[in-house]
């Protein structure tokens, strides 16, 4: 009986030492997925609709104030939008064109404020979306605005 208890006790001690090491050998839980890559499908759909409307206002109607409002709605409501580079580009280009007194709408902002807004949007595009196909055009426009904003 004593030998049986000794073997049972040794097994328990051995189990206590082996269990925690098997847990630790797999590593701890990481932080989880990057929050910037988690996207709500309904929010993406809504943002895509707003982008399509902003693009329509920008390209076809020359309604730059309306295009900026749609872009700002996306930026505020869905900062992780998959096509944020396009949003920033349209907002920046619309601001730039309004500063040059182009388009069918008048802005309440001064040309200086509009150029500063354009510089902010385009700088964000260049800094946060280096692989964007719109980056080259944004960099060219930034040269006329004084370069990247620090």
Evaluate whether 141 touches 149 at the Cβ level (below 8 Å): no
Residue 19: HSE in the Cβ half-sphere, 13 Å Cα cutoff: 6
Asked if residue 38 has pLDDT above 90, the reply is no
For tokens 């020359």, name the residue.
62
Asked if residue 25 has pLDDT above 90, the reply is no
Mean pLDDT of 136-148: 94
Domain ranges of the chain: 39-144
Percent of the chain with pLDDT over 70: 75
What CATH homologous superfamily does 39-144 map to? Answer: Tetratricopeptide repeat domain (1.25.40.10)
Residue 107: φ, ψ to 5°? -100, 150
Residue 123 tokens read as 């700088």
pLDDT of amino acid 14: 57
Please state, as a whole number, how many other Cβ atoms lie within 10 Å of the Cβ of residue 130: 9
124 vs 34 pLDDT, higher one: 124
Evaluate whether 121 touches 97 at the Cβ level (below 8 Å): no
């Amino acid at each position: 009986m004593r030998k049986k208890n000794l073997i049972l006790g040794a097994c328990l001690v051995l189990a206590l030492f082996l269990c925690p090491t098997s847990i630790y050998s797999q590593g701890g839980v990481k932080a989880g997925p990057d929050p910037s890559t988690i996207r709500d499908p309904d929010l993406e759909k809504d943002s895509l609709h707003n982008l399509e409307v902003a693009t329509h206002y920008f390209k076809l109607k020359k309604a730059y104030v309306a295009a900026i409002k749609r872009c700002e709605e996306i930026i505020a409501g869905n900062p992780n939008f998959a096509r944020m580079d396009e949003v920033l580009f349209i907002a920046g280009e619309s601001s730039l064109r309004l500063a040059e007194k182009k388009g069918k709408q008048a802005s309440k902002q001064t040309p200086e404020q509009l150029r500063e807004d354009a510089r902010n949007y385009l700088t964000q595009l260049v800094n946060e979306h280096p692989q964007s196909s719109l980056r080259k055009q944004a960099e060219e426009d930034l040269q006329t605005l004084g370069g990247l904003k620090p």
